Every structure is written in structure tokens, then in C-alpha cells.
Amino acid sequence: MMNYRKYTRQYFMPPVSSMKWAQKEYVDHAPIWCSVDLRDGNQALVVPMSLEQKVKFFQLLVKVGFKEIEVGFPAASDTEYQFLRRLIEDDLIPDDVTVQVLTQAREHIIRKTFEALRGAKHAIVHVYNSTSLAQREQVFRKSKEDILQIAVDGAKLLKKLADEEGADYRFEYSPESFTGTEVDYAVEVCNAVLDVWRPTADRKAIINLPSTVQMSMPHVYASQIEYVNDHLKYRENVVLSLHPHNDRGCGISDAEMGILAGADRIEGTLFGNGERTGNVDIVTLAMNMYAQGVDPQMDFQNMTAVTEAYEEYTGMKVDERSPYSGALVFAAFSGSHQDAIAKGMKYREENRCETWTVPYLPIDPTDIGRSYDADVIRINSQSGKGGVGYILEQHYGLKLPKKMREAMGYVAKGVSDAQHKELMPEEIFRLFKEKFENIREPYGIGELHFKQHNGIIAEVTATFEGKTSVIVASGNGRLNAVSNALKRHFRLDYDLVTYEEHALEQSSSSRAIAYVGIRDKNGKVHWGAGLDVDIIKASVDALLTAINHMATSHTK
């Protein structure tokens, strides 16, 4: 038995909580985004990125729309230091992008950080120290007053060095391990730091509240954020930032509820890469907003290219089921899902819908560079008639009758199940042609002649097991006359229950396809299809295939 009694709640609810944020319905605006891929994300990699990979990744982050990018901990390693110098000296930082650097609240590290920043046009210096009860008691063995003084001393040194440099760098402070800190004490530390910086409207400070380790349900984190939001000094000149991790799998919820509770800014990574279980996934956060009609101010129009670049630079893999970005997130294998999607797409086309409401697809895949044909309807042993019919119509223009789609669906399911594989569109089309087109044994038809006399009279040259006969019969149409001739001469017992046709190309020389369904004496329906520029020839070929299906099924 797992010993759950060894664990206890380590977080602190705020002294008061109104939870007014919970009355808000959704996140109605994009926060300020800050990528920490090059720092938090990079330090989580088994093999950290090389300098060249970091440069390429930085350019990718700029391209998708980040205006604030934490580029590293320049005092931590030579690669981090040289990377920042490369960005500055090679003028790789666009004028509208601010780089951010991280430093502990320790004098020699802060000084090294400022040295690395020299020459940067715009920068955020992000200083932190740990404030949690566990860290105070177990790691530092210091009092609340001692920990607060570390933060204040760090803040003073940042201000002093920036003034000496004549740099108008912005400052950011994080009470690291905020989620394990008494909330009123965290506010006390943050306000002490703000008293040193005295932020103004044109030089705002950032107070960043990290869930360094997730310890509570998201509503608790949001209540903590709400309390800080209500009790910070200089609030109008402070950007309240969140840095959610994902230990409990709640990074997205923490961020979304935190924004509702008053946060202005989110620090996170593409696809959630970060220490332990990762940082909050900015791709998912941004696309969640997009899916509710809010501009996320991020450009993921080519999600596949972003995914591939990320995987190349980091060596990480984006899971196939990762929201929005995964290779299979739009793929429907289930027959009922496929049927609903296909009908939803048809409804959109018929009604010229302006808003997106297709069942099972939260967003239009084409918005992020995916396609309906390759990404949405996928066929395996779980698929049904709707998916198979959709593939044949979208790729090959075949509009199978409803019951024929069902029969074709069973054929595809059977092959997929036997081969334990997904079927590609060309394989499905090949199966259709093999099973439902041009089956000429045991019955065959050679020449056909028609004349009109009290309806239509058909003269049919027919074969059965190598014997040829010329037979004549009448009917109310050409196909009916041919059917009557075959039924009478070969004593076939069936009813023609379905006949449909349509053109495959829109031109004077377009081919036509015909579908025929016949019901035998036992009530089973057999199907055939015929393709020809002559619709009569196509119809007869379809009938013949259906008859041969019936004949061979009776002999099995």
C-alpha cells in the first residue's frame, strides 16, 4: 500500500480571498508573453543547445511573435555568456524585442550579468531569491527578515549598477518557490523590492510569481495571485507576471486562472519544455485563446514548421497528442467521429458558415497549416463509412450511396484490422476499385444493342463460365432491359434497389460513374460501380459487378 500519510499540504491560502476572478468566463485578452525556452527550457535538456542552435531558436521565437525573451543565465556558463554577447555584438536583437537575463540575488553573479549585458538596447534584469518556508528552514536556515534583506540588497545592486551604466534596463523580481511561501510574506518581500526600485509609468517593474513547484489546485494559485494583485504597492506601474511549472499537470489552468485573477504577463516555453514535468506550454495557452475568438498575438500559422524547428534545436519530441501541435490531434479514426466531421464540413459548405462549429474539431486545422485531407480523416480498423466515404469523395470525387459507403467501410476496416495498419487514401481507392469495379466473372457482357419499341428492347451478348449467349428482353429503360435479360436467361433472383450516377469531371468529355445495388432473395444487398464516358456502359458495368458479387457470395 502506498503511504499517502507521509504527505501534507505545503502551500498557504491567502489571508483573505474574494475569488472574484472565478466569476469571469474566459481570458478575453492576450497577456504579455515572455519565452524562457533559452533559459529554463535549455537547462532542462539532457544535452543543452549549442550556441548556433540557440541563435536559430532565438530567431524562431522572434518570428512567432515574442517581444520579451529570456536568453539565459549569463553568469552560469561560458556558452550562456557568449550567446548573449553574440546577440548584442552581431545586432541580432530587433528593436522591438527585449532580452531578459536571470541572476540570483548575489553580488558577484549580478555584476557578471551586467557585464554580459553591456551594449544591449533593451533589457530586463530578472533577479530572484527563494522565499518558501521549506527553503528558509531547510536550505538557508534564515529568518524571514534575513531572506527579505537578500531580496532588498539584490534590488539595490541592480539599481546601482544600472545607474552607473546609464542604462534604462527594466527590473524583474521573483520570490522563487512562491507557491510554498506564506502569501502575505511574499507580498511584504515584493513591496520591499518595489520600494527600492520605485517603478514609474515609463519604466515599469515586473513582479513575477512562479509556481516553481506546483503544490495546489489551480483555484488556490489563482487566489494567491488575486491577493498579491490587491496588495502590491505601485500596482499601476507593476507588470504582474506568472511563471507556472507543471508538476501537477495544471500549468495551463494555473496560467489561465492566474490571468483572470489579475496577472498581466506569462513566462513559458514552446510545447512546455522545462525542468521536471515542464513549464507552461505557451502554444496551448495561445491557441486556447484563439479557439475562443481572442487574438493571442502569436503567429502559429505554420505549426508544423515551428514543431519541426523546435525538435531539431532541442532534441525533444512533440507528442503526437500534444494539443493543437501534435501530429494526430485532428485525426479522427473513430467511425462516429468521422461521420460527424464529414457532415459538419458539408453543413459548413451548404450554409456558408462564418464561424467554426464543426464537431470534434475545436479549431479549423487549416488555420495552423494543417489539411483536412491529410490530417483529419484517417482510416484504420476503428473507422466507419463516414470516414471512408469522405476520403473517396475528397480525394477522388466518388460520392457513394449511403449504404454503399457502409459496405466499403466494412471492406476497409477488415483490411486494416487484418494488416494492423492505417490505410492511406490511395490504398482505400485501390480497395474500392478491386472490390466494386469491373468484376467480370462468372458473368460477362460483350456487345449491347438497344432499340425503342413499347419501351426499350435490349439485345445482350452475355457469357457465363465460358459459354456465350445472345439474349433479348425489354424494360422501361436501358439498364432495366439489360437486367431483365440477364435475370430471365440465367434465372437470377434479385431486385435492383439502388441506382445513382454522377460526373467525375466537369467537361464535355467527362467520365461518369454509376453505382448499382441489388438485393438477393435473402435480403442481402450487393454493390457494383462502373466508370466510363458512356453512362449506359458505366451503368451496365456496375450492374454486372453487383451480380458477380452476388454469385460469388452464394458459392462461398
pLDDT in tens, 266-296: 999 999 999 999 999 999 999 999 999 999 9
Same domain, 340 and 254: no
Residue 6 lies in a domain: no
Which CATH number do you get for residue 50? 3.20.20.70
C-alpha cell at 159: 539599481
Residue 322 lies in a domain: no
Residue 518 domain boundaries: 443-555
Residue 330 lies in a domain: no
Same domain, 523 and 447: yes
Residue 536 lies in a domain: yes
* Distance (Å) of CA 222 to CA 12, 52, 176, 213, 437: 12, 39, 17, 15, 63
Extract the runs of DSSP E, i.e. beta strands, from 282-415.
Answer: none
Same domain, 295 and 350: no
Same domain, 352 and 375: yes
CA distance 391 to 276: 42
SS3 of 360, please? coil
Residue 11 lies in a domain: no
* Burial group, residue 555, by CB count within 10 angstroms (0-12, 13-18, 19+): exposed
Number of other residues whose CB lies within 10 A of the CB of residue 505:
10
pTM given for the model? 0.82
- The answer to whether the beta carbons of residues 514 and 529 sit under 8 Å apart is yes
SS3 of 256, please? helix
Q: Place 68 in a pLDDT band, splitting at 50, 70 and 90.
A: very high
150-164, 224-238, 332-346: lowest mean pLDDT where?
A: 332-346
Question: Which of 402, 433, 464 is the endpoint of a domain?
Answer: 433
Residue 166 lies in a domain: yes
Same domain, 369 and 448: no
Highest mean pLDDT among 10-19, 159-168, 378-387: 159-168
Pairing of strands 68-72, 98-104: parallel
Question: Which of 433, 467, 494 is the endpoint of a domain?
Answer: 433
Same domain, 410 and 527: no
How does pLDDT run across 377-399, given as a tens digit for each residue?
A: 777 767 766 788 888 988 899 99
- The answer to whether the beta carbons of residues 246 and 278 sit under 8 Å apart is yes
Instruction: Work out the average pLDDT over 130-140.
Output: 95
Split into its structural domains, the chain has a count of 3
Q: Place 307 in a pLDDT band, splitting at 50, 70 and 90.
A: very high
Same domain, 261 and 405: no
Residue 221 lies in a domain: yes
Q: Which among 388, 374, 403 has a CA at the least distance from the CA of 519?
A: 403
Same domain, 179 and 153: yes
Number of other residues whose CB lies within 10 A of the CB of residue 319:
14
Residue 329 lies in a domain: no
CA angle 223, 185, 168 (to 5 degrees): 90
Same domain, 259 and 371: no
Question: Could you tell me how far CA 300 lies from the centroid of its own chain?
Answer: 10
Which CATH number do you get for residue 517? 3.30.160.270
Same domain, 100 and 157: yes
Question: Which of 385, 408, 433 is the endpoint of a domain?
Answer: 433
Number of other residues whose CB lies within 10 A of the CB of residue 193:
26
Does the structure show a pLDDT above 70 at 509?
Answer: no
* Distance (Å) of CA 147 to CA 138, 195, 240, 255: 13, 16, 21, 27
Q: What is the dihedral of CA 355, 359, 364, 370, to 10 degrees?
A: -170
Question: Could you tell me how far CA 82 lies from the centroid of its own chain?
Answer: 35
Q: What is the dihedral of CA 110, 115, 120, 126, to 10 degrees?
A: -10
Same domain, 113 and 131: yes
DSSP result, 512-535: EEEEEEEEETTS-EEEEEEEESSH
Same domain, 409 and 540: no
Does the structure show a pLDDT above 70 at 358?
Answer: yes
